Amino acid sequence: MLESASPGTAASTIDQILDGRAALLDRTSDGLRHLVFATPHGPLRLCIDNSQPNAGLNCVIHTDSLIDVRIAALQWFHHSIRGSSSLSGPNCLFPTPFQRNRLNLMLRILDYLADNAGNPNPIREIGQLIVYPRTRFASAAEWKASSERRRTQRLVNEAKSLVNGGYRALLKGELRY
């Protein structure tokens, strides 16, 4: 989070920090400015306290159990806006393509569950619509005995676990996904 610096503090404004880079997205809502920029290392997303738009900015880092990850993310931000060609950091900042795909799949599952909250047993629909869209199961018995059902159920459970606080373990690098 970037917030307005105290008056009289020698701090850069967002325009100075970004040095004329064009934002892919620039939206303001509820006093927060949301920006997305393209970098050589992937999209850079910023959330800025917009209560004093022309004031200098301070980076706010919460000192909790995730402080190492927060500092690594801040270093990634610093190197990204300076155009550094090599970055390193915790694996949670740089998931592999397989891990990104799996996390995206879990997000799609969570969206489906939120949109279909009245469905008492959505596992088969999730399996057919999201996880295995090219596969059709002829009968309930075939679905019940399938490895696809078990994998779908695991993905649903993992997605719910991430929502219920598991994302913190993911950020710390303690959770394998």
Is 72:90 a contact under the CB 8 Å cutoff?
Answer: yes
* Percent of the residues in the chain that have a pLDDT greater than 70, as a whole number: 70
> What does the pLDDT look like over 69-104, one tens digit per residue?
778 777 777 776 666 656 565 555 667 788 889 999
Closest CA to 160 of 120, 98, 113: 113
Amino acid 126: pLDDT: 94
Q: With bands split at pLDDT 50, 70 and 90, how would you rate the model's confidence at 7?
A: low
**pTM, full prediction:** 0.58
For the chain, give the longest Cα–Cα distance. 71
> What does the pLDDT look like over 121-136, one tens digit per residue?
789 999 999 999 998 8
